[in-house]
Amino acid sequence: MSFNKTNRTIHKWASIIIALPLFVIFITGILLLVKKEFAIIQPPSMKGQAQVPSIAFEQILQAAQSVEKANINSWQDINRLDVRPSKGIIKIRSNNSFEIQIDAQSAKVLQVAKRNSELIESIHDGTFFEKNANLWLMLPVAIISILISITGIILFFIPYLKRRKRAK
């Protein structure tokens, strides 16, 4: 089998193998790029009173517990806290993907919304399907993408190289 035919075969089959995973990565990547433009993906940040947080952790937990749909009973039900001093808010993300934004001075709940960007991120990196999918699925997809790029560049330049060779 010639080099050109082998190169085309590798390019064709590698493309077929990674088409669906790449399609998922591209679509979710686009959604993540525009997530701040759509409240259904990521709730917009509110504005609090002060730029220096002055509430205690206990007040943060109490504010979070006051929101029933977030289903927060203890610190174990909280995924993360995101302190935004410049906006005067603290974002509390529950394990069930609800985001509670509270004022960093008064602990008043400013907004409660479902945060779908985490779901999109987990689909994008493969962990939605399986915890280690980013290693056994996304890493091979990345390596095969590099292989397809190399074979594609070779396929692109072969006709030019053949014409140059014939001209000499």
In which residue ranges of the chain is pLDDT below 50? none
pLDDT in tens, 40-60: 888 888 888 878 888 999 999
Quote the tokens at residue 14: 């590698």
**For 104-167, where are the E strands, in sequence order?**
109-114
* pTM summary value: 0.70
Q: How would you class 147 by CB atoms within 10 Å of its CB: exposed for 0-12, middle for 13-18, buried for 19 or more?
A: middle
* Interatomic CA distance for residues 124 and 21, integer angstroms: 9
Predicted local confidence at residue 18, as pLDDT: 86
* Euclidean distance between CA atoms 91 and 112, whole angstroms: 10
Pairwise CA distance, residues 10 & 62, whole Å: 59
CB 102 within 8 A of CB 63: yes
Tokens of 155: 């396929």
**Tokens 């007040």 found at:** 59
pLDDT value of position 12: 87
Angle between helices 139-167 and 3-33 (to 10 degrees): 130
Predicted local confidence at residue 140, as pLDDT? 87
Helices 117-125, 3-33: axis angle to 10 degrees equals 170
pLDDT value of position 56: 92
